[in-house]
Structure 1
Amino acid sequence: MSAATLTAAPAAPTAKQADKIALENNKLHKRLCRLVGQAIGDFNMIEEGDKVMVCLSGGKDSYALLDILMTLRERAPIHFDIVAVNLDQKQPNFPADILPTYLSNLGVAFHIENQDTYSIVKRLIPEGKTTCSLCSRLRRGILYRVADELGATKIALGHHRDDILETFFLNMFFGGKLKSMPAKLQSDDGRHIVIRPMAYVKEADSERYAEVKGFPIIPCDLCGSQENLQRKQIKNLMREWDKKFPGRVDSIFSALSNVAPSHLLDRELFSFTDIKADGVANPLGDIAFDEEPCAMPATFPGTIPLQAV
């Protein structure tokens, strides 16, 4: 067999195969638009007249977020503006021309904020230690300031469903808290609303969409270069579950929207001291001696909202 045969390019897809690929890509785009639109509606993320600042890191998820929001803006019954913002942290070898060129060609308003947080992180964090916490705090403060300067009413981040689940497990395993990454929140300074429109999107779909669209991905030389992070361990665990136990990860994510404070142990969320046997039937009450306490009911009672602390 000749060397030419060994290195031959793969055969081009047939017309039928090309049509199938195009159909699957179109389905993916529709699914992402539906899921992002659903999250926006469920949590009232975007309102009439909003100026949404989309934080664009150069990763697959923020590219997908910007792309889908631009599509939804054209279809939405309300008017809102979009401005893409990138924080150039002055990482070595960062290709500073990629995002301005991409955004200019896209025709979207954008702002590039230049701040050397890379040097600060490298100076303050010992070699081999996790840089994420400090890097995140520095980015957050800068982006809040930029949002003020641009007049943005919402700050949109590209975190997806898997990010939310990973955060849930990180808090549970290492922080002793039942806490995740909210789809919508008030910033710690009380002056901004942060939204995560990709909250219902699976990472696998975001990865495939990036390939389909050919986004110019820019790798991170800080957290993206650290191989032994706890988050990566959780990610690997979830992927293993997804292979061995299909549906398990979906079920866990659904559980985040179906919380029963009366069946946990947080006395701030539920007043256990006030429980009385008042003789009134409660369909959501516990069946104390059930042999299968985790079995799904024949008729699902609906979501029990998490009460505010």
Structure 2
Amino acid sequence: MSPHVAIVTDSTAYLGQDALTRHRISVVPLTVVIGDEALEEGTEISAPAVARALRQRDPVTTSRPGPAEFDSVYKAAAAAGADSIVSLHLSADFSGTYDAATVAAKDAPVPVLVVDTGMVAMALGFTVLAAALAAESGGTAEEAVAAAERRAAEMSAYFYVDTLDYLRRGGRIGAAQALFGSALAMKPLLQLADGRIELLEKVRTASKAITRLEEIAVERAGTRRVALAVHHLASADRAAALADRLRERVPGLDELVVSEVGAVIGAHAGPGLLGVVVSPL
């Protein structure tokens, strides 16, 4: 990447360490609070630990980073030679992370463009990679933002959860909240739309819901060249099986990432989460 444009994101992008290192992307962590213990995502708390806590019905909440955390990362980027920074974050409807980054940007030693991507998980990750690749090609901060916004505009994210209860508790189901009572007896399929989680369909059984999730991903991908991500929480076997089927059914598949979501998204979606991100290239 050009040393002049630094790329910053948050821990909900769920990019692997290899990608972070290769593209020199800095990450500001969110926090998961279990009981009275606050733990940084990515370093101090794992998704399986969150899944266990949720199953035990321990109190689990999440917390955004403060402006001071962003201030430290922005100063470090400037000290390393950046003359501008692009800071890309999960949907502002999910978290105050974008707001904290915006506050810190005002006092940063170099110009910072803060972007509410409207995304989360690898939908955010793919968007961040688009910005990083644009910067690596010699693009300006504005060009990196434009590349990220183009990638985000084509992105689709769909997911299945065993229950809406965890999303309801965290206040993250948006428009789907009004349908919570009727959807509870069904198996919900949800989508990420305009930075919010919305109920897409209700299916009678888990197996039928996962089959429908696969169909939606295949339809959305079509014959285009695409990158896919399959996410899960405490459902590795189901995720691997879904990924295998998508490899067979998506003719333009360029890249497929299979990973467990991190602790923050896991805390809100709950064990059993299975998601697919479709990102045309």
Q: Name which structure has the greater RCO, CA cutoff 8 Å, separation 6+.
A: 2
Query: Could you say whether these structures have the same fold, taking a TM-score greater than 0.5 normalized by the shorter chain as the test?
Result: no
- Normalised to the residue count of structure 2, the TM-score between the two structures is 0.31
Q: Hey, which of these two has a bigger chunk of strand by percent?
A: 2
Q: TM-score, normalised by structure 1?
A: 0.29
Greater Rg, structure 1 or structure 2?
A: 1
